[in-house]
């Protein structure tokens, strides 16, 4: 029977019409569970379809899971003839595609021999005044190097070897470029011998503590929706100096199956708009429930329980290029901090240690790290970046945002007041829209919270009218943009809501004097 006919003839598998997940992702999860009927059934929901290329991809995985490699080769040829990117067949170390690559006719497939040594990336991240990191995923083991030079030609080109990538790290690697100059534009390439395989560009930061002007884009809620992947071009056109990905970045919801996790990351990292953006805008990422565990997950305070915690974090680390990951091996997580000039960002992990019984979202080690970091900070603006909102009643009836952890929230807010800390505001994601809100405080200035989490999502949340609502927008996909000017006599940040078409929907100027004791 033709595989497409077989899919349509199968039994229906329950699936919400309003789910963020598409049929192809759901089919991969059922494939990982070895449930053939449910694998087929999810294709009967036309409301959540990622398109024929993704259908072909998951059907290939299904055939390979059944060791029908000859049939898979035939379908692969048909898919490539129909326009599939051949690099999709060479990405990563997954158990199924290895079988396809071992077939004697694999290299005869159209375009396969033309795939370069770089499958995904380059992705720029962890840019400082003197360093930058470049992430790539290679086409199996490769002997590659990286070259870079100042864009104005004032510095000769430099070349270093890319560390060896292996199946154990899913053929990913991060190269650190050092010896750079502050406030300087650089361009570079990934090389195989002298053949360029991928280009990147970045600008180094101002010296630590230096006043400056710069832009930071952010958002969450980035489910894979082919017709809205143009969002990455819209963000690139703004030319931000950084992009913060604040959770629900790829919508996995399957912490126990590596096949599902790889599939969700690979298709986004293969997407041309995304690859173009991250090759020139430094990316900083944290996770939330849908890319760490599953919906509204509360994994508890223990490091090793559930057993999937460390493996999921390792997959996350393999697919991003952050400055750091929590407290290292002893206290794993995705939290970290970074600065641009005299502005400091504290990126929080709201899932790994989340525990309702103890009333802590952060866990004791991360919370102490945050308070110590805030106390030591001399930054003009200090931003607490959370995967979920701090604002009260932002998700009516739910304890998943900070409403579920009111004592810890109050501990943090009271600490800001007792330390008379100036220039603090909040940034968050999770709610599928873009909002600006304030929370009045009894012993301090109002806490502004700028939140955005509908980068590419189908699903949308209504604007909840809390007392501190300044404005909200949910008509289409959007992102948040923060424009800092700390060179001004009264340093300021302008909050902007930009929609997927590049139109500004709202803006608000916040001056340092408004958030000072």
> pLDDT tens digits for 172-182?
999 999 999 99
**Average pLDDT score over residue span 196-224:** 97
* pLDDT of 60: 96
> pLDDT tens digits for 19-73?
689 999 999 999 999 998 889 888 776 568 899 999 999 999 999 999 999 999 9
Residue that finishes a domain, picked among 61, 84, 114: 114
Interatomic CA distance for residues 310 and 325, integer angstroms: 12
In this structure, the answer to whether residues 350 and 498 fall within a common structural domain is yes
Question: Residue 262's domain spans which residues?
Answer: 217-515
**Average pLDDT score over residue span 434-456:** 97
Instruction: Please say if the pLDDT value at position 224 is more than 70.
Output: yes
Q: Is residue 232 part of a domain?
A: yes
> What confidence tier does 195 reach under pLDDT thresholds 50, 70, 90?
confident
> pLDDT tens digits for 311-351?
999 999 999 999 999 999 999 999 999 999 999 999 999 99
Interatomic CA distance for residues 116 and 107, integer angstroms: 13
User: CATH no. for residue 453?
Assistant: 3.60.21.70
Instruction: Please say if the pLDDT value at position 15 is more than 90.
Output: no
Q: Which residue has the tokens 């929590």?
A: 326
* pLDDT of 48: 82
- Other C-beta atoms closer than 10 Å to the C-beta of 258 total 19
Instruction: Please say if the pLDDT value at position 432 is more than 90.
Output: yes
Q: Which ranges in 282-438 belong to alpha helices (H)?
A: 289-292, 309-318, 364-376, 406-418
Interatomic CA distance for residues 124 and 118, integer angstroms: 14
Instruction: Please say if the pLDDT value at position 112 is more than 50.
Output: yes
> pLDDT tens digits for 303-316?
999 999 999 999 99
Could you tell me the two tokens for 90? 């060479």
* pLDDT of 19: 64
Interatomic CA distance for residues 505 and 413, integer angstroms: 30
Distances (CA, A) of 432 to 49, 300, 393, 462, 474: 20, 26, 15, 8, 7
- 464 within 8 A of 395, measured Cβ to Cβ: yes
In this structure, the answer to whether residues 195 and 231 fall within a common structural domain is no
User: CATH no. for residue 148?
Assistant: 2.60.40.10
In this structure, the answer to whether residues 266 and 346 fall within a common structural domain is yes
Exposed/middle/buried for residue 145 (C-beta within 10 Å: 0-12, 13-18, 19+): middle
Q: How many distinct structural domains can be found in the chain?
A: 3
Q: Is residue 209 part of a domain?
A: no
Q: Is residue 211 part of a domain?
A: no
Helix H, strand E, coil C: the string for 159-223 is EEECCCCCHHHCCEEEEEECCCCCCCEEEEEEEECCEEEEEEEEECCCCCCCCCEEEEEEECCCC
> pLDDT tens digits for 461-498?
999 999 999 999 999 999 999 999 999 999 999 999 99
Cα torsion 332, 356, 337, 411: sign: negative
Q: Is residue 55 part of a domain?
A: yes
In this structure, the answer to whether residues 179 and 245 fall within a common structural domain is no
In this structure, the answer to whether residues 107 and 162 fall within a common structural domain is no
Phi then psi for residue 347, to 5 deg, are: -90, 120
DSSP assignment letter at 11: P
Q: Label residue 157 left, alpha or beta by phi (over 0 means left) and psi (-120 to 50 means alpha).
A: beta
Omega before 159 cis (within 30°)? no
Share above pLDDT 70 across residues of the chain, in percent, rounded to a whole number: 95
In this structure, the answer to whether residues 46 and 167 fall within a common structural domain is no
pTM, full prediction: 0.95
Phi then psi for residue 486, to 5 deg, are: -95, 5
β pairing state of 283-285 and 242-245: parallel
Q: Is residue 156 part of a domain?
A: yes
**Average pLDDT score over residue span 281-295:** 97
Q: What is the mean pLDDT of the chain?
A: 93
Q: Is residue 472 part of a domain?
A: yes
Interatomic CA distance for residues 220 and 236, integer angstroms: 16
> pLDDT tens digits for 378-407?
999 999 999 999 999 999 999 999 999 999
DSSP assignment letter at 107: G
Could you tell me the two tokens for 149? 């030079």
Residue that finishes a domain, picked among 88, 114, 140: 114
In this structure, the answer to whether residues 107 and 125 fall within a common structural domain is no
In this structure, the answer to whether residues 18 and 159 fall within a common structural domain is no
Q: Is residue 25 part of a domain?
A: yes
In this structure, the answer to whether residues 28 and 125 fall within a common structural domain is no
Residue that finishes a domain, picked among 114, 147, 168: 114
In this structure, the answer to whether residues 84 and 45 fall within a common structural domain is yes
* pLDDT of 6: 31
In this structure, the answer to whether residues 221 and 76 fall within a common structural domain is no
Q: Which ranges in 68-120 belong to alpha helices (H)?
A: 69-81, 97-101
In this structure, the answer to whether residues 408 and 269 fall within a common structural domain is yes
Element (H, E) at 308: none
Q: Is residue 21 part of a domain?
A: yes
Instruction: Please say if the pLDDT value at position 197 is more than 60.
Output: yes
């Amino acid at each position: 029977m033709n595989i497409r006919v077989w899919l349509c003839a199968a039994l229906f598998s329950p699936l919400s019409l309003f789910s963020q997940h598409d049929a192809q992702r759901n089919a991969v999860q059922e494939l990982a569970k070895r449930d053939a009927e449910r694998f087929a059934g999810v294709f009967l929901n036309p409301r959540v379809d990622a398109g024929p290329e993704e259908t072909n991809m998951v059907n290939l995985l299904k055939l390979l899971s059944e060791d029908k490699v000859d049939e898979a080769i035939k379908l692969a040829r048909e898919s490539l003839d129909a326009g599939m990117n051949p690099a999709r067949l060479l990405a990563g170390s997954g158990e199924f595609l290895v079988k396809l690559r071992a077939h004697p006719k694999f290299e005869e497939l159209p375009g396969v021999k033309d795939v370069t040594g770089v499958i995904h990336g380059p992705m720029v991240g962890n840019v400082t005044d003197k360093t930058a990191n470049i992430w790539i995923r290679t086409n199996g083991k490769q002997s590659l190097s990286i070259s870079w030079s100042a864009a104005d030609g004032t510095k000769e080109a430099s070349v270093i070897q890319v560390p060896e990538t292996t199946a154990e790290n899913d053929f990913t690697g991060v190269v650190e470029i050092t010896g750079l100059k502050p406030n300087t534009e650089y361009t570079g390439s990934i090389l195989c011998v002298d053949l360029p395989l991928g280009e990147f560009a970045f600008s180094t930061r101002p010296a630590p503590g230096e006043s400056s002007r710069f832009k930071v884009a952010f958002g969450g809620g980035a489910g894979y929706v082919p017709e809205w992947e143009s969002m990455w071009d819209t963000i690139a056109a703004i030319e931000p100096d950084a992009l913060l990905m604040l959770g629900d970045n790829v919508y996995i919801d399957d912490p126990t199956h590596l096949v599902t996790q790889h599939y969700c990351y690979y298709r986004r990292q293969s997407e041309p708009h995304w690859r173009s953006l991250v090759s020139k805008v430094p990316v900083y990422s944290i996770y939330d429930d849908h890319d760490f565990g599953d919906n509204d997950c509360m994994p508890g305070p223990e490091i090793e329980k559930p057993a999937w915690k460390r493996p999921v974090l390792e997959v996350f680390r393999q697919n991003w290029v952050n400055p750091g990951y929590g407290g290292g091996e002893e206290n794993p997580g995705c939290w970290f901090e970074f600065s641009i000039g005299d502005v400091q960002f504290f990126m929080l992990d709201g899932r790994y240690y989340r525990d309702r019984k103890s009333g802590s979202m952060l866990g004791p080690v991360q919370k102490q790290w945050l308070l110590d970091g805030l106390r030591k900070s001399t930054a003009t603006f200090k931003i607490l970046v959370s995967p979920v909102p701090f604002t009260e009643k932002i998700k009516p009836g739910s304890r998943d945002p900070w409403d579920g952890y009111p004592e810890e929230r109050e501990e943090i807010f009271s600490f800001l007041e007792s330390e008379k800390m100036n220039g603090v505001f909040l940034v968050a994601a999770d709610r599928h829209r873009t909002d600006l809100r304030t929370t009045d405080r009894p012993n301090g200035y109002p806490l502004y919270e700028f939140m955005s989490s509908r980068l590419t999502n189908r699903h949308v949340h209504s604007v909840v009218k809390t007392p501190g609502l300044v404005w909200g927008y949910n008509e289409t996909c959007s992102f948040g943009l923060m424009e800092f000017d700390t060179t001004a006599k009264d340093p300021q940040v302008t909050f902007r809501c930009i929609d997927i078409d590049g139109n500004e929907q709202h803006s608000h100027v916040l001056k340092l004097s408004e958030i000072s004791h």
